[in-house]
C-alpha cells in the first residue's frame, strides 16, 4: 500500500470525492491522494475483473491513442506504468518509423524519430490505471453507486459533498460530505444543471457539430504479417473526403481496426459494408490487410454528434469546492486522439493549483481553488481545441462559430502537412505539437515559415506519387539544425 509520506503532514483537506472512475476520475484521484487525507471515488459501474468494455464507457470498443503528453503525465503519476503495460503485451512504437500515415493526399515521411509511444486498448489502459490507483491507502472506491446531486452549505456558497444512491439497495439517497468534489462523470455531467439549481448561471457552451460516427472491430494480427509498420492510418482529403480509417496494434497480438465518417457518411456494421468502407478509402492498405484477417469481435459503432466545451472559466460566480475534469469539461472529436491526454494534463493542472493553494492560503483553505483551476485549465484546453476544431471547420457542413483566422490556419496547416511527406524536421515539430508536447507556435518558427512559403510557391518535392507508400529505407533523413522554439 502506498502512503503519501512527503505531504502527509500538510494535507489541503480531509476528504475529496470524485464522481466517475474512468480516465479523468482515476488520474484526478491519483493527484488528490497527495493532497487529501482521504479520496473517495464513486462509480456507477461494477469494475470489471479483467480489461473489458463496461456500460459507462462504451467507447472502449474503439481505438484509443494516447498522445505522448498523456503518456508522460501518467508515467510521472505512476512510475514504471508503461513498462508494465509493455510487459503485458502493449506495443511500443516510434511515431514516424513504425507508423504509416496517409493524410492530405501524401504519406508522411518515415524515419527513426526517437519519439516513442505505446499502443494498447482503452480497456487495458484504464484497468491498469485502476489497479495502480487502488494501491494507494487513502483512496477508496464506492462502486455501483450513482451520484444524484450536490450538497451545499446554507447560503449556497460552498459545495459540501454529494448525494448518492447505491444501485443494489432500496435505501433512499445517502449523503457524503467532502471538502472538494471533482466531477469526472463524462459527457453526461450534471454539474452545470446542479449549480443552476443552486442559483448560479450555467456555463456557456461552445459546440462544433460534426455528425461523426466510428465503427470498430478487433482482428487477430496475422501470423505471417511482414510489413515494416506497426500502425497504419488513412485520412481521406477533407473537405471532399469524409472518411478515415486505421489499424492499431494492441496487447494480445491483436489489431483494432477503426473507421469513421463525417456528416452521415458512417461506416456500416455489416461484414460487407465494413470491408467496402475500407476499400473506399483513398488508399487500399487497410482493406488489403483485413480482407483475409481473422475477426475476433462483432463490429461496434459509436455516434459522435459534436465536440462540446463548457466555459466554467467565464462564470462570474461559482460555488467553492467543485471542480470539473475530462469530458465533463470538454469533449473533443475523437479522431485527433486528444481526450485522454487532456484528462492527464487537467490532472496535472489540478495538482499545480493545489500546490499553489497551499503556498498562498492557510492550511486546508480551498477558497478560490476552483477559480484558479478553471482559468489555468482553459489555457490547457485552448490549443488542442483550436487544432481539432479548425480541422473540422474545413467541412462546409460543420456547424459552429468559426474563430477569426481559421482560414489562414487551415491553409498553413495544409501546406505543413504536405511538407511532412518530405521534410523530417517539419514532421518532428508537427508530431511534437500534435502530441501536445509543444505549443503550436513552434510551427511558426522562421525555418518552418520559409519552408511553407517555398512549398506554397510551387517548390514541391512529393515523395514520388502519393500512391506509393514510402518504405523506410527510401526516405532520406536530414533533420535541420536545432530550430526548437
Ligand X SMILES: Cc1cc2nc3c(=O)[nH]c(=O)nc-3n(C[C@H](O)[C@H](O)[C@H](O)COP(=O)(O)OP(=O)(O)OC[C@H]3O[C@@H](n4cnc5c(N)ncnc54)[C@H](O)[C@@H]3O)c2cc1C
Residues near ligand X, by CB under 6 A: 19-25, 42-45, 56-57, 59, 62-65, 146-147, 184-188, 214, 302, 304, 326-328, 334, 337-341, 343
Return the number of the residue (308 or 442) whose C-beta is nearest ligand X.
308
Return the number of the residue (78 or 111) whose C-beta is nearest ligand X.
78
Compute the least distance from the CB of residue 302 to ligand X, in Å. 4
Rounded CA-CA distance 353/351 in Å is 5
Phi/psi region, residue 152 (left: phi>0; alpha: psi -120 to 50; beta: rest), is beta
Nine-digit cell string for 296:
475476433
Rounded CA-CA distance 94/77 in Å is 23
Compute the least distance from the CB of residue 388 to ligand X, in Å. 11
Other CB atoms within a 10 A radius of the CB of residue 443 amount to 20
Compute the least distance from the CB of residue 335 to ligand X, in Å. 8
Return the number of the residue (78 or 214) whose C-beta is nearest ligand X.
214
Return the number of the residue (42 or 286) whose C-beta is nearest ligand X.
42
Return the number of the residue (44 or 110) whose C-beta is nearest ligand X.
44
Closest to 461 measured CA to CA, from 478, 444, 446, 438: 478
Compute the least distance from the CB of residue 30 to ligand X, in Å. 13
What letter would DSSP give residue 320?
B
Compute the least distance from the CB of residue 152 to ligand X, in Å. 17
CA 14 to chain centre: 30
DSSP secondary structure of 404-415: TTHHHHHHHHHH
Other CB atoms within a 10 A radius of the CB of residue 165 amount to 17
| Secondary structure class of 479 (helix, strand, coil) | coil
| Secondary structure class of 187 (helix, strand, coil) | helix
Return the number of the residue (165 or 355) whose C-beta is nearest ligand X.
165
Compute the least distance from the CB of residue 286 to ligand X, in Å. 16
Other CB atoms within a 10 A radius of the CB of residue 292 amount to 7
Nine-digit cell string for 181:
468534489
Compute the least distance from the CB of residue 139 to ligand X, in Å. 16
Rounded CA-CA distance 404/347 in Å is 30
Compute the least distance from the CB of residue 78 to ligand X, in Å. 16
Compute the least distance from the CB of residue 382 to ligand X, in Å. 17
Return the number of the residue (337 or 470) whose C-beta is nearest ligand X.
337
Nine-digit cell string for 260:
469513421
Burial bucket for residue 337 (CB in 10 Å: 0-12, 13-18, 19+): buried
Closest to 130 measured CA to CA, from 233, 36, 56: 56
Compute the least distance from the CB of residue 474 to ligand X, in Å. 29
Nine-digit cell string for 254:
491483436
Rounded to the nearest 5°, which phi and psi values hold at 208? -120, 105
Other CB atoms within a 10 A radius of the CB of residue 482 amount to 8
Closest to 91 measured CA to CA, from 246, 223, 256: 256
Compute the least distance from the CB of residue 146 to ligand X, in Å. 5
Cell 505512476, residue?
Answer: 78
> How many degrees, rounded to 5, is the angle at CA 118 between CA 116 and CA 120?
165
Cis peptide upstream of residue 269 (ω within 30 degrees of 0): no
Amino acid at each position: 500500500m502506498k502512503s503519501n509520506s512527503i505531504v502527509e503532514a500538510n494535507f489541503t483537506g480531509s476528504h475529496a470525492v470524485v464522481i466517475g472512475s474512468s480516465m479523468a476520475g482515476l488520474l484526478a484521484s491519483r493527484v488528490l491522494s497527495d493532497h487529501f487525507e482521504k479520496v473517495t471515488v464513486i462509480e456507477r459501474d461494477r469494475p470489471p475483473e479483467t480489461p473489458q468494455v463496461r456500460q459507462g464507457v462504451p467507447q472502449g470498443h474503439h481505438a484509443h491513442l494516447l498522445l505522448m503528453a498523456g503518456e508522460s503525465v501518467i508515467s510521472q503519476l505512476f512510475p514504471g506504468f508503461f513498462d508494465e503495460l509493455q510487459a503485458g503485451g502493449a506495443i511500443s512504437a516510434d511515431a514516424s518509423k513504425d507508423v504509416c500515415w496517409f493524410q492530405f493526399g501524401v504519406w508522411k515521411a518515415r524515419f527513426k524519430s526517437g519519439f516513442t509511444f505505446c499502443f494498447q486498448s482503452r480497456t487495458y489502459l484504464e484497468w491498469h490505471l485502476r489497479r495502480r490507483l487502488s494501491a494507494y491507502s487513502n483512496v477508496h472506491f464506492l462502486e455501483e453507486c450513482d451520484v444524484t446531486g450536490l450538497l451545499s452549505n446554507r447560503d449556497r456558497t460552498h459545495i459540501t459533498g454529494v448525494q448518492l444512491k447505491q444501485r443494489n439497495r432500496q435505501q433512499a439517497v445517502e449523503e457524503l460530505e467532502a471538502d472538494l468534489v471533482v466531477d469526472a462523470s463524462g459527457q453526461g455531467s450534471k454539474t452545470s444543471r446542479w449549480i443552476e439549481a443552486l442559483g448560479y448561471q450555467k456555463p456557456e457552451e461552445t459546440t462544433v457539430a460534426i455528425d461523426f460516427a466510428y465503427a470498430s472491430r478487433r482482428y487477430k494480427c496475422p501470423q505471417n504479417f511482414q510489413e515494416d509498420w506497426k500502425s497504419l492510418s488513412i485520412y481521406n482529403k477533407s473537405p471532399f473526403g469524409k472518411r478515415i480509417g486505421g489499424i492499431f496494434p494492441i496487447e494480445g497480438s491483436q489489431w483494432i481496426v477503426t473507421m469513421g465518417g463525417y456528416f452521415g457518411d458512417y461506416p456500416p456494421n455489416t461484414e460487407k459494408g465494413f470491408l467496402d468502407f475500407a476499400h473506399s478509402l483513398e488508399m487500399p492498405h487497410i482493406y488489403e490487410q483485413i480482407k483475409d484477417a481473422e475477426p475476433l469481435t462483432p463490429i461496434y459503432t459509436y455516434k459522435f454528434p459534436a465536440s462540446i466545451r463548457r466555459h466554467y472559466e467565464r462564470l462570474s460566480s461559482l460555488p467553492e469546492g467543485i471542480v470539473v475534469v475530462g469530458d465533463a469539461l470538454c469533449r473533443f472529436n475523437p479522431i485527433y486522439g486528444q481526450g485522454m491526454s487532456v484528462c492527464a494534463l487537467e490532472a496535472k493542472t489540478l495538482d499545480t493549483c493545489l500546490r499553489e493553494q497551499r503556498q498562498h492560503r492557510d492550511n486546508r483553505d480551498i477558497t478560490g481553488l476552483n477559480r484558479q483551476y478553471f482559468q489555468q485549465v482553459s489555457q490547457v484546453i485552448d490549443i488542442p481545441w483550436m487544432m481539432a476544431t479548425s480541422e473540422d471547420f474545413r467541412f462546409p457542413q460543420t456547424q459552429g462559430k468559426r474563430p477569426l483566422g481559421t482560414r489562414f490556419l487551415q491553409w498553413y496547416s495544409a501546406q505543413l502537412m504536405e511538407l511532412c511527406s518530405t521534410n523530417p524536421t517539419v514532421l518532428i515539430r508537427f508530431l511534437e505539437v500534435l502530441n501536445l508536447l509543444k505549443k503550436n507556435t513552434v510551427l511558426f518558427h522562421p525555418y518552418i515559415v520559409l519552408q511553407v512559403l517555398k512549398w506554397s510557391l510551387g517548390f514541391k518535392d512529393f515523395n514520388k506519387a502519393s500512391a506509393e507508400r514510402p518504405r523506410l529505407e527510401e526516405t532520406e533523413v536530414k533533420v535541420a539544425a536545432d530550430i526548437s522554439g
